[in-house]
Amino acid sequence: MATISTPRSDPTSTLSERVGRGPSRPGILSRAGLTMIGLLFAAFVALFYRWFLVQNRFSLEAMEDWGHVYLIPVVSAGLLWMRREQILKTEPVVFWPGLAPFVLGIVAYFFCVVGVKNHMLQGFSMILTLFGLALLMAGPAMMRWLFLPIAYLGFGVSVSEMIMNYLTFPLKLIASKGAGLILTFLGDMAGFGVHVDGNNITVINSAGVAAPMNVADACSGMRMVIAFIALAAAVALIRCTYWWQRVAVVLLSIPVAVGLNVVRVAVLGIASLFDSNLATGDAHMLIGMLLLVPGFFLFLGVVWVLERVVREDDPPVAGATAKIKTQADAKASIPWPAWFARPVAWSSLSRASFVVPLVVMAASAAGFGAGIRMTGIYLQKLPIHAPENRAVRAIPRITASWEQVGEDRLEKPEVLKALGTENYVTRTYRERFPSDPRKPATLEVHIAYYTGMIDTVPHVPERCFIGGGLDMISASSIYPVTLDQSDWVEDETVPSSLRGRIFTANAMDHNNNRIRRVRLPRDPGSISMNISQYAGPGGLVYTAGYFFVANGGTVARAEGVRLLAFNLEDDYAYYMKVQISSPFVSDAAELAALSGRLLDDLLPHVMMCVPDWIDVEAGAYPEDNPRRARVAASGEG
């Protein structure tokens, strides 16, 4: 007689019936589960590895601003762990509309790499791809628990410097003035004086010795704003049950960041009374990191207060950690070891739900790399310097029409850190033969050279002058710079395939003797300056203008540097800021006219301090130029 054997009872079969459909399947730590996760993870990293490398460089080079991004994935994983029971009880389903944000994220990433070339938008595109992948493979019900941990990853993306400066610069001025008030109050009691001028604070001890300090320098944004917001968001997501509580805690992060930055600056000011070195360098970062601790407890205190003004019977928001209120709920909860034995729900779904995203990511990664190689574009630019590493301070101190007044201004270490380069010069020139000997024109020139950078937003007078205590009294406007073209000769040796007309001019010494002919930037007759005016103490009005030389061209606005210096066809990238200012001109037009006269003498010398871009594009410079082999191969063909 035939007998029918019944399988032994298995705890996982009961678990499977409760959280999934069908018979028990291999767990997430099984060979099948790990293979699926490993393949998807490998394809994801292969697609976005360039972004991870650049983000790592951002964080390493600016730990005080972006060092927190290393902790963001840890917090996000912790949020997933807190919701493991809700995730386990929710059955995943294939949701094919999730393919739309998945593909959109990949397309947006490609566009932000080769189109707008923006690291921040690339990062958000990557997160959109991850969101689409989770929605496709797990469905809307599961996304209720996955959305916030995925969205939190946005704090791991470095915000564009231009946006950060725009948003945080006013906050830094507030911090400077607030710290000045605190120091003034303490100084009245302790017997030291304080003078506040924009971002500059000078603490004077009882002996009359001044200790000047700059609030993290005149050009940078307020430190750790994003870190405080990320900390507040983490506390809100972990401790708060209701949306309004979460919003309240996150909104408080800005005033908390400003308030603690006020405390930081005040502490640095007091420390400078004992040792001026304590107000510079790593002290900013150390104290900023330490202030995250009171910030954390402040956010916890806010949550404690908010929890006591809400009714217990109010419904919690989606994504909140549910509280077990009954013994039955406690028995129904799933112990954490069972989470690892949970069946891989997506293995019971359509095979296409796994194969399609895997193939799309792998094919996109391979196609992107192949496309880059075939089209000859270069995403990572190589650093390049002038021949013999000629520095900008090598421009002559005296020319045929101008001479230096005083010595070059040397910046403090913390200002240099914000400036981002040591290849700079700040020098004052005066007319040698003015029409009115009693009123010679005087101009301050600041030139800074950049290469090998990971961002292309230069420091400009708008922030630096305001940070120095001046008030902008006229909006920035573009003014053409009129140059003497009588000595210009068009370079007929330049291939017509290169962009723009190229002229050469003589670099002359102070006795008007020729040194050498130098190639000028492309279309030098179109050089313009971005000029604005600022009100200083004593009714003095400063007029300042600037333009940039980048990869052989010129542009008047900082935003245009990205288009010039990061042309996808170029192996190398550099830009140079040329800034000219004076408190002794009547208006912007006069500054533009005087700048033209000064540049008649200096421009050829300035161009000797940058690579000859025609030689770079031809592969003739530098010696290890990758174009050299390509040009030779093309010539042989």
Do residues 249 and 235 lie in contact, with contact meaning Cβ atoms separated by under 8 Å? yes
Mean per-residue pLDDT for 389-396?
A: 96
Distance in angstroms (rounded) separating the CA atoms of residues 25 and 16:
8
Mean per-residue pLDDT for 129-134?
A: 96
Do residues 402 and 434 lie in contact, with contact meaning Cβ atoms separated by under 8 Å? no
Number of H helices, E strands in the chain: 21, 14
Over residues 7-17, the pLDDT tens digits come to 444 444 443 33
Over residues 521-578, the pLDDT tens digits come to 999 999 999 999 998 777 889 999 999 999 999 999 988 888 888 777 888 999 999 9
Do residues 520 and 603 lie in contact, with contact meaning Cβ atoms separated by under 8 Å? yes
Over residues 235-293, the pLDDT tens digits come to 999 988 888 888 999 998 888 888 888 888 888 888 777 776 666 656 666 766 777 78
* The predicted structure's pLDDT at residue 294: 86
Distance in angstroms (rounded) separating the CA atoms of residues 219 and 173:
11
Can you tell me whether residue 224 is helix, strand or coil?
Answer: coil
Mean per-residue pLDDT for 37-52?
A: 93
Distance in angstroms (rounded) separating the CA atoms of residues 575 and 563:
11
Distance in angstroms (rounded) separating the CA atoms of residues 182 and 184:
5
Give the chain's largest Cα–Cα span.
126
Distance in angstroms (rounded) separating the CA atoms of residues 611 and 351:
56
- Which residue intervals of 326-475 are DSSP H helices? 327-332, 336-341, 352-375, 413-419, 461-467
Helices 31-61 and 119-152, packing angle to 10 deg:
130
Distance in angstroms (rounded) separating the CA atoms of residues 85 and 322:
10
Can you tell me whether residue 488 is helix, strand or coil?
Answer: coil
Q: Left, alpha or beta for 388 (phi > 0: left; psi -120 to 50: alpha)?
A: left
* The predicted structure's pLDDT at residue 15: 37
Beta-strand ranges (E) seen in 5-116 are: none
Distance in angstroms (rounded) separating the CA atoms of residues 464 and 106:
38
Distance in angstroms (rounded) separating the CA atoms of residues 615 and 446:
26
pLDDT at 483 over 90: yes
Instruction: Among 202-216, 240-254, 386-400, 586-600, name the one with the lowest average pLDDT.
Output: 202-216
Picking from 26, 64, 199, 49, the residue whose alpha carbon sits closest to that of residue 113 is 49
C-beta neighbour count of 437 within 10 angstroms = 8
